[in-house]
Amino acid sequence: QNGELFTRVYHHPILSRYTLPYVVGHSKLAHGDWFRSALIRAVCYCSSIENFNLERIYLELTCLANDYSIFFVENNVQHFFGYFHADTMRYLKDQTMYDKFRHDCFGYMTMQYELSDKLQTFNDNDCLIHLNYLYEFGPKCQFNQ
């Protein structure tokens, strides 16, 4: 578009719109994680701020159409933008600011991959300790007994 590479999220025209990936037993927390992951995917796929905003609105409407509250949607959108320290990005239409925001998101993803690799290395070298504490089995002071 205008001599530049143009990308956006593809939605298959035959599949029904506004459906959530549903698995029995998923909590609202899991759908909140899905929602934020979908927003990250939208940042990665959408090269223009207009397409990102359309995808964000589509994701918000998908949650609302599936009986999630406006509080749930607003809370997750605010968490997403707050996590990247880009609270104003939700209301801006500045392509330059969006490009910087995308760059920061890609940097975050690179950092996540590097940390995941380090964690896997620790696990492979048996240097990783897993601690499990289930509150149902007594107060925390009994943990060390």
Question: Which tens digit of pLDDT belongs to each residue from 80-134?
Answer: 999 888 888 888 889 999 999 999 888 888 888 898 888 888 888 888 787 776 6
Looking at the domain assignment, is residue 13 inside a domain?
A: no
11 within some domain: no
Q: How many domains does the chain have?
A: 1
128 located within any domain:
yes
Domain that holds residue 88: 28-142
Residue 100 is assigned to a structural domain of this protein: yes
Q: Is residue 52 part of a domain?
A: yes
> What are the pLDDT digits (tens) for 30-79?
777 888 888 998 998 888 999 999 999 999 998 898 888 999 999 999 99
In a domain, 12, yes or no: no
Within-domain flag for 1: no
Confidence band for 28, pLDDT divided at 50, 70 and 90? low
Confidence band, pLDDT 50/70/90 cuts, at residue 3: low
Asked, for residue 93, whether it belongs to a domain, the answer is yes
Instruction: Confirm if 34 and 80 have CB atoms less than 8 A apart.
Output: no
